[in-house]
Structure formats: structure tokens, C-alpha cells
Amino acid sequence: MSAHPPKWFDAAMRDGLGRTALVCSFAPAEDVAAEVFDQWIDDLWPGRDWDQSQDTPRIAEAFRRLRIGRKDWPTPNEFATTIASIPRKKSNAPALPAPAKRGNSSFVDAIFDDLARHLHPARKTEKSNDVLDQNAE
């Protein structure tokens, strides 16, 4: 994770902070709001596994919950606690098949041996030549 937050995180946080500042008492004054927002972002970005597709909606929901659950300006710690209570959505992507292991097939073994022979010409294997020749027929 980089030391500087990406634009998506910065934008999501500034949007949530700005909306929250409109409705909460003791929000930062307009002349210092940018510095306060910067501090929140600097405090919350490092040390967490942020993901744009998963966390952009979670950030918005955390700020929404803070706005409806309180009257005063929240702290970064309250935001961190609130977002932690919002689960990430489980991926609908199908699980990837397990990678092929050596020994499952003589043809696959031969391919690996042939690749090794090309990468290391001094190494020759008789098995790879026989199996590749058989499968070529």
C-alpha cells in the first residue's frame, strides 16, 4: 500500500466529510476544513487494506450512519469503528481451479521438462521427448 492515498479514497473521504460537516454541530470552520479533512485522510489511510470497489460504498455508509446517529462532529476513531461494523460484500467470482501439479499427467510433465530444457539447454530429459513425440502423432 502506498504512503499516499489514491484519488478514489481521497474523493470518498472528502465527500463523506463534507456531507457530515453540513449537518453536525462543531464541524470544522470553512477556513480550516481542508486541513481537517487532510488529517482525517492521513490518519485513516495507512495500515488498512482499503479496496476501491469494496470500500467506496462502505465509506459512504459509515458517514451516513454517523450523520444519523449523532449531532456532533465525529472523530476519526468513531469513523473507524463504524466502518469496521459494515461488512465487505462477498465476491461472486467463481473460485479458480487448483493449479496443475507435476505428476498428474505424463503430458504435463513432458511440457514442464521441455520448458526446463529450453531454459537450461544443458539439461536433457528423455521422458519429455518420448511423451511429446507420442502426443504429436
Decide if pLDDT at 130 tops 60: no
Task: Say which range, 50-64, 83-97, 119-133, has the weakest mean pLDDT.
Answer: 119-133
Q: What is the pLDDT of residue 98?
A: 61
d(CA 23, CA 12): 18
The ranges assigned to domains in the chain are 7-84, 106-136
Q: What is the pLDDT of residue 47?
A: 87
- Phi/psi at 122 (5° precision): -70, -25
Percentage of the chain exceeding pLDDT 70: 75
Alpha-carbon distances, residue 135 vs 20, 51, 109, 111 (angstroms): 67, 46, 13, 11
CA pseudo-torsion sign 128, 131, 134, 137: negative
- Tens of pLDDT, residue by residue over 51-85, are 999 999 999 999 999 999 889 999 999 999 999 99
d(CA 95, CA 88): 18
d(CA 79, CA 9): 14
DSSP assignment, residue 137? -
Q: What is the pLDDT of residue 86?
A: 96
Decide if pLDDT at 131 tops 60: no
Q: What is the pLDDT of residue 6?
A: 95
Q: What is the pTM of this model?
A: 0.64
Residue with the bigger pLDDT between 64 and 112: it is: 64
Mean pLDDT of 85-102: 70
